[in-house]
Structure formats: C-alpha cells, structure tokens
Amino acid sequence: MRKNFFIMMLTFLFAGSTFAAVNLNTASQGELEALQGIGPAKAKAIIEYREKNGSFASVDDLQKVAGIGSATIKQLRDEIVVEVEKNKEASAKQE
C-alpha cells in the first residue's frame, strides 16, 4: 500500500513540473530551446534582448525580438509566461 502511494505521489509531482510554463524573464537557453519552434538562435536572441532591454512586460513583448512573430507567439502562448522577479521589483521601488 505504501509503495502504491509513493508511486502515485511521484507521478503527481513529475506531472506537475512537466506542465510548468517557461518564464521569459528568467528562462535559460536550454529552457527556451525546449519550446517548440525556438532553436538555439532564437533562444540566444531572446536572452540578448532581455539583457539589453530589461524584463519583458508581457508575452506580446516577445514580438520585439528579431525573428519572432505573431505566429510564434500564438503557438507558444500556453507554454510561456512573463513574471517579474520579486527581488528586482523590490529593489527598484527602494531606489
């Protein structure tokens, strides 16, 4: 009985992480490349844009990255999110 419960819990935990959305403001190159339609060049462009211009304010801001259009955003909309890191937000308010 305990073995079955343990297996169910592990399945639940891994299933939950499988469906986690990718945060455009914190995602690594590998996390971005895991998205359908985003290869190494587009992932690098997203990271470079983020480093140069700061955090994305919305998913639609992804269209500002060279090589990414509305069709790509439409395809990825359910897989990506934009969340601002609380530490950056708090330090910006203090300044």
User: Residue 38 region, left (φ>0) first, then alpha (ψ -120 to 50), else beta?
Assistant: beta
Confidence of residue 20 (pLDDT cuts 50, 70, 90): confident
Asked whether the beta carbons of 56 and 62 are under 8 A apart, the reply is yes
Q: What is the pLDDT of residues 31-62, one digit of tens each?
A: 999 999 999 999 999 999 999 999 999 999 99
pLDDT at 84: 80
pTM for this entry: 0.70
Q: Dump the DSSP string for 25-79.
A: TT--HHHHHTSTT--HHHHHHHHHHHHHH---SSGGGGGGSTT--HHHHHHHTTT
* Alpha carbon distance 25, 84 (integer Å): 7
All structural domains of the chain, each given as residue ranges with its CATH number in brackets, are: 21-94 (1.10.150.320)
Kindly state the tokens that stand for 32.
């971005």
